[in-house]
Structure 1
């Protein structure tokens, strides 16, 4: 059955079944992943997907259901399951089917240069990346992973209030994870590229990035336990921000699961910190002109010079707080309910380069990698204890690589102790980004 016919019939039958308002969210896509190993193509995966979710209001409750098939039987199933789901809801939260906004911003989420990619070129590129990594240094003994991938998706929302929205995205990524060996010790690195044009994938540059990241770890050692001036490198800070991003979720705050509840207007970070949620960032991995409720998205400051401006809201939480939604109502997949999520979420960059930050530190620690984020961080209390790697800083320069240390602290206190924000803003294969930041003191457990 064609989508337009399916939609008309579904809405018609749903209204006959007692639904006052109805909505369809649909998504389709294609992903190609090619993996190289030992000079050959190890995996070639091509996947196509389609999913559709239906939600409707009946007796002032919102019921959800979903499918991957469009036919007459599916229509009856969707209505039946949504009605049953609505009848099982016990809370009195007000849910909304949105009529739409007058204007939606334009944002670049799709590159026509990635259309009709010749897969033979992708195969050659991934093999070249692996080859370049192996040839970059005689210390390279293995390639832990080498892959190139292309993804494209189209998604849209339509409802009985006349809303009709569609958008499409695509992305090309490539990475290599080389392993080097020195004095019977092995160290790994990672090089990657996110591109909107096939010509932007440079095998030599990706290989160089990955191998150098591995080589610079040679000679790593622990350092004595203590409190250190610390730079959290952009990659490490991005991962920490991502781990604690749900503290800005208004639904969690309203349920008492975030310490930022009722903190709007309070200083929750250093005055040098501004955190932005920008869904209109061209080619951002979280960019979109509308959220999954059909609300027009916009760039906003979440923390402005240390002061909490707003939490992230969807229509339901905004109504509870008597506020306007921030346009952050998103589904984790077509089959899930609407929750809250950030778009392109990052600390606004400062003016100092990484070298200038190291000079400011003088002597201390630079953390480049954090591990154990899911088990070693508590987003409710803010406490964290994480395995870390990086470099010791002496005389304002990298002195030697550091490993086998654990950094511990509290995220809320850490955000208040940021002295300087760097200029090297990065989004490491994620919609969460950060520049490097200088923390005046961090507890380190080492030897």
Structure 2
């Protein structure tokens, strides 16, 4: 049974079973994951996945079910499972099957140049990356990982209200983690690249990026506990923003799990800070013309020059708040229910170069890495205490690498005390991005 036939029968039978409206959400994806180790292909994994979920409203409640098989038995299973799930729901939240929007923006997230990519070219890329690390520096003794990954997928949403949407995307990325040893000390770094064409992949550039980072950490040492001027490097700030971006969800505020409840139209950050959610970002890792409820997506400022202008909404949370969905109703997978999630979420870049930021610091600390984000960050209170690495800054330049320190603070206070925002906005293999920032209110514990 093909998808169109399956959909037609499913909708007809769901109506007969008492569903007021119904919807299917279909994903069809493929990924190729190649790992290289010591000039050999360590693993070659080609994964193909198809899944269909059904959700329907019956007696004002919504039920979910899912399958990977398109046949008559699956139709009956989907209807019965969704119906039984709906009957178990006790809350009174209003549920929606969306009829669609008049217009959907075009988004650049699929590239014909990546279609029918030759796997042997990807293997060669991985082998070259590994070779180039050792060619670039004799102190490279091993790699902690060398991967090339290509993935593509298509999402389709159709419902009984006439909605019928499709979107496809693909991406190619590669990374390597070279390990260097100098005078008995070992350090690692990461080189990576996201590309829309394999010709954009420069194995020398990727290798150099990783090796330079590893070498920069050699001779790391701790520092004394104290008060320092602090800059958070873009990748470190991305780690914090990733850990706390859930506080901007209307679902979290409505459940009492975010301190941003009732804070809209108030100042929650420095005037230097503007935070954007942009699902229309060209080649963004979370770009899409519609969310998983079929709502048209759009670029919006969540925080505008320090003021919280809106939270992120799906249809259910928007109805509760008597507002419109922001197009942030997303699923973790085809088998999941709709929740609220950011798309390409980032702090807008400022006008200070990285060198200027170091000069502004003069003497202090540049934090480049955080560890322990799952256990050391409390998303409800905003408090965090995290192991960190970085550099001691002296006379506006990197003086020596720093490790074995702990950085503590509060995310909400941090936003308010950002004094400078850099122009080096970066998305490090992530849909979360940030430039480097200078902030007060952080404490450092060392030796």
TMscore range, shorter length: over 0.9
Once superposed, what is the RMSD of the aligned Cα atoms?
Answer: 0.6
CA distance in 1, matches of 2:124, 2:321: 54
> C-alpha distance in 2, partners of 1:161/1:385?
49
Listed as ranges, the matches of 1:223-372 within 5 Å are: 223-372=223-372
Find out whether 1:432 has 2:432 as its counterpart. yes
Runs of 4+ in 1 over 3 A off after TM superposition: none
Q: Distance in 2 between matches of 1:358 and 1:290?
A: 40
Partners in 1 of 2:372 and 2:71 — Cα distance?
45
1:123 aligns with 2:123: yes
Determine if contact 2:329/2:341 at 8 Å carries over to the other structure: yes
Deviation string 1:277-327 (CA, Å, 9 cap, x unpaired) is: 000001000100000000000000000000000100000000000001101
Q: Which residue of 1 aligns with 2:27?
A: 27
Q: Distance in 2 between matches of 1:441 and 1:318?
A: 34
Equivalent-residue separation in structure 1 for 2:362 and 2:267 (angstroms)? 28
Deviations 1:61-82 (A, max 9, x none): 0000001111000000000000
8 Å Cα contact 2:409-2:441 kept in structure 1: no
Which residue number in structure 2 is paired with residue 98 of structure 1? Answer: 98
Name the CA distance, whole Å, in 2 between partners of 1:339 and 1:248. Answer: 13
Whether 1:374 and 2:374 are equivalent positions in the alignment is yes
C-alpha separation in 2, matches of 1:92 and 1:348: 38
The TM-score with structure 1 as length reference comes to: 0.99
Cα offset, 1:440, TM superposition? 2.8
Contact 2:413/2:441 (<8 A) preserved: no
The CA distance in 2 between the partners of 1:229 and 1:81, in whole Å, is 57
Aligned length: 447
Provide Cα deviations, 1:102-153, integer angstroms capped at 9, x if missing partner.
0000010101000011111111111000010122111111111001010000
CA distance in 2: counterparts of 1:239 and 1:174, whole angstroms: 20
Distance in structure 2 (CA, Å) of the matches to 1:441 and 1:321: 33
Please give the secondary structure, in 2, of the residue aligned with 1:261: coil
Task: Check whether the contact 1:134–1:140 (CA below 8 A) recurs between aligned residues.
Answer: yes
Query: What is the CA deviation profile of residues 199-241 of structure 1, one whole-angstrom value per residue up to 9, with x for unaligned ones?
Result: 0110000000000000000110001101211110000001100
8 Å CA contact 1:227, 1:441 repeated in 2: no
What is the distance in 2 between the residues matched to 1:65 and 1:440?
Answer: 49
C-alpha separation in 2, matches of 1:215 and 1:162: 58
- Distance in 1 (CA, whole Å) between partners of 2:311 and 2:229 is 30
Conserved 8 A contact 2:130-2:176: yes
Match of 1:207 in 2: 207
8 Å CA contact 1:155–1:167 kept in 2: the answer is yes
Matches within 5 A, 1:55-94: 55-94=55-94
5+ unaligned residues in a row in structure 2: which ranges? none
Cα distance in structure 2, aligned partners of 1:290 and 1:381: 32
Match of 1:393 in 2: 393
Aligned residue for 1:244, secondary structure, equals: helix
Give the match's secondary structure for 1:4.
helix
Question: Quick check: 2:249–2:341 contact (8 Å CA) kept in 1?
Answer: yes
| Post-superposition offset of 1:156 | 1.1
Partner of 1:18: 18
C-alpha separation in 1, matches of 2:90 and 2:172: 44
Does the 8 Å CA contact 1:230/1:441 hold for their aligned counterparts?
no
Identify if the C-alpha distance between structure 1 residues 441 and 346 changes in structure 2 by more than 3 Å, giving closer, same or farther. same
Helix, strand or coil: the match of 2:167?
strand
**Corresponding residue for residue 163 of structure 2:** 163
- Where 2:442 maps in the other structure, the secondary structure is strand
TM-superposed deviation, 1:50: 0.4
Q: Could you tell me which residue of structure 2 aligns to residue 138 of structure 1?
A: 138
- 1:363 and 1:268 map into 2 onto residues whose CA distance is 28
Question: Which whole-Å deviations, capped at 9, do the CAs of 1:371-397 have from their partners, x for residues lacking one?
Answer: 000100000000000000010001111
Cα distance in 2 between the residues matched to 1:66 and 1:20: 19
Judge conservation of contact 1:228–1:441 (CA < 8 Å) in 2: no
Separation in 1, partners of 2:236, 2:294 = 33
* CA displacement at 1:419 relative to structure 2: 0.3
8 Å CA contact retained: 2:406, 2:444: yes
